Amino acid sequence: MADQTHHYDVLIVGTGNAACSAALAALEKTSRVGMLEKAPQRGRGGNSSLTVVMRFVFNGIEDLRPLVRNFSEAEMRPLLESLPHRTEAELWDEIMRVTNNQSDQEMLQVHVTESLKTVHWLTSKGHDWSPATIRDDNVVTMNGGGPGLQKRNFAILEKAGVAFHYETAATELIQDEKGRVTGVRALTPTGFAKFCSNSVVLACGSFESNPEMRARYLGPGWDLVRLRGVPFNTGDGLRMAMDIGAMPHGSWTTCHASPQDINLPAFTVPSAHSLRDSLTRYMYPWGIMVNTNGERFVDEAWDTRGRTYASMGRAILAQPGGIAYQILDAKIRKMNLYTPNYQSATTARANTLEKLAEELDLNVARFVKTVTEFNAAVQPGAYNPDRHKLDGKRTAGITPPKSNYALEMDEPPFEAFPVRCGMTFTFGGLKIDPKTAQVQHVAGRPIPGLYAAGEMAGGLWVGNYASGSGMMAGATFGRIAGTHAAIAALNS
Ligand SMILES: Cc1cc2nc3c(=O)[nH]c(=O)nc-3n(C[C@H](O)[C@H](O)[C@H](O)COP(=O)(O)OP(=O)(O)OC[C@H]3O[C@@H](n4cnc5c(N)ncnc54)[C@H](O)[C@@H]3O)c2cc1C
């Protein structure tokens, strides 16, 4: 049977936040927008549908008020006391700090200067925001988190007449004689189909769901790691683009991976997900982490939680068996620091360190020695477990140190939470022109008709990441990609 054929001005591959933002922007110029999604409709929305926050610039309450019109100043004030602003300079410094100054500066410049504008633009499209909860790293977040954002996106795009093609996996880019990308070949439930378009936006994630690529680029052990997100982001867009000469960019050997409950399933799809039951285990800054030898292996608080958690998965994966235990004492419960999702956490509890070690099947003497040495190393100073600020209360004379929030572990009952590494997304992507999101060829010139956004655009994240940044980058560069893809389509 011959290929079926569809025609659009702008064709977008993926239905995550980057893809939906691209579609919203393209619709400002043309109504002939099509979207391809590998997942069935009930699994649409990508990792974006599993998220909580966006990290963006705001200079004070004035920038936030238009986003949270339904909330009073009194509801906002306690949040602003902890984080009164995140200026462009502050966001730039944060990302440079977590990436060890290796973030692509041209990309970062656009990310930083466009973030607040993009959030206000999303609001103008029908999105709304709410004050952040205690587990967030921001003051204001998408109303309903990623599921809420994506639900609104689909409602807006469907109403505008965007054509969605589900269970349709893009497999190949189509080019004309001049090298212009003129569409995509895709596998549909009834066979291959041709989707012709004047421009294509690739927004179909990185390669985090592909064990072969994880092993190839991230190294041994990463092939078997469990996913926090969808099983669909298998690097197809990267492969298709590189097959026609697109330039890879950014860090292909590092990724975002964080501590998760030991019972993390192999993957999660949006329809099976509830933010309330999230398996994230991000209480480690308030305690210590030990491996199965009963030894600490990482500085649990070298920076704030939002700037360390994406690197902690790698540290845990490197431990024997790829697992670790978060240990906390009763003071943390008394201070009410536990996030609600720890209510359903896998846990062990005991009134002595010895009993806890027995419960966990750890070498009792080694574990007790670790905690005793840790307690003796804690330096005097004011303890302040503020998730946005470091308190400088640290240990001295032990390796690894704990650089902030160091409190003696001496009040029973002691609790342990077994954790494993959960893969969030990989950092390797394509080189884009940050001002247009157009994909660059290895020959050093743009590929006509081809744009990329979201995880597919490499360069911003290297080695580590700051929470809420993936969604912000997806929306920012998705908007840019959709705008420029539509302009190019109409001028072609
Ligand atoms: C559990 C979890 C929580 C997270 N929390 C946050 C958070 O709070 N804040 C934050 O900023 N970031 C968070 N992240 C990271 C965030 O999800 C990503 O940075 C962001 O969603 C990337 O958006 P995207 O549009 O590029 O990719 P995605 O949202 O993953 O979308 C990619 C889409 O492409 C589709 N696709 C893949 N291949 C093909 C193909 N061949 N053809 C057609 N379609 C295809 C996929 O099915 C998917 O729908 C979280 C990630 C996870 C897994």
pLDDT value of residue 1: 42
- Residues 339 and 246 occupy one common structural domain: no
Q: Is 260 in the pocket of ligand 1 (CB under 6 A)?
A: no
Boundary (domain end) residue, out of 363, 397, 422: 422
Distance in angstroms (rounded) separating the CA atoms of residues 300 and 303: 8
List the CATH number of the domain containing 391.
Answer: 3.90.700.10
Its pTM stands at 0.97
Q: Is 37 in the pocket of ligand 1 (CB under 6 A)?
A: yes
Q: Is 170 in the pocket of ligand 1 (CB under 6 A)?
A: yes
User: Is the pLDDT confidence value at 135 over 80?
Assistant: no
Closest CA to 331 of 286, 369, 288: 286
Distance from residue 203's CA to the centre of ligand 1 (Å) = 9
Q: Is 154 in the pocket of ligand 1 (CB under 6 A)?
A: no
Residue nearest to atom 21 of ligand 1 (CA): 48
> What proportion of the chain, given as a percentage, has pLDDT over 70?
98
Q: For 326-366, how does the pLDDT look when each residue is reduced to its tens digit (9 = 90+)?
A: 999 999 999 999 988 899 899 999 999 999 999 999 999 99
User: Is the pLDDT confidence value at 133 over 90?
Assistant: no
Q: For 204-261, how does the pLDDT look when each residue is reduced to its tens digit (9 = 90+)?
A: 999 999 999 999 999 999 999 999 999 999 999 999 999 999 999 999 999 999 999 9
- Residues 462 and 404 occupy one common structural domain: no
Closest CA to 17 of 479, 414, 357: 479
- Residues 286 and 231 occupy one common structural domain: no
Boundary (domain end) residue, out of 422, 438, 462: 422
What three-state secondary structure class fits 240? helix
- Residues 274 and 250 occupy one common structural domain: no
Amino acid present at 206: S
Query: What does the radius of gyration of the chain's CA atoms come to, in whole angstroms?
Result: 23
pLDDT value of residue 2: 47
Residue 441's contacts (CB-CB under 8 Å, 6 or more residues apart) are 245, 246, 247, 447
- Residues 323 and 463 occupy one common structural domain: no
Q: What is the mean pLDDT of the chain?
A: 95
Range of the structural domain that residue 84 is part of? 4-254+427-491
**Sign (positive/negative) of CA torsion 332, 336, 339, 341?**
positive
- Residues 362 and 272 occupy one common structural domain: yes
pLDDT value of residue 78: 80
Question: Would you list the DSSP string of 192-208?
Answer: EEEEEEEEEEE----ST
What three-state secondary structure class fits 163? strand
- Residues 167 and 72 occupy one common structural domain: yes
Q: For 380-412, how does the pLDDT look when each residue is reduced to its tens digit (9 = 90+)?
A: 999 999 888 899 999 999 999 999 999 999 999
pLDDT value of residue 277: 62
Q: How many domains does the chain have?
A: 2
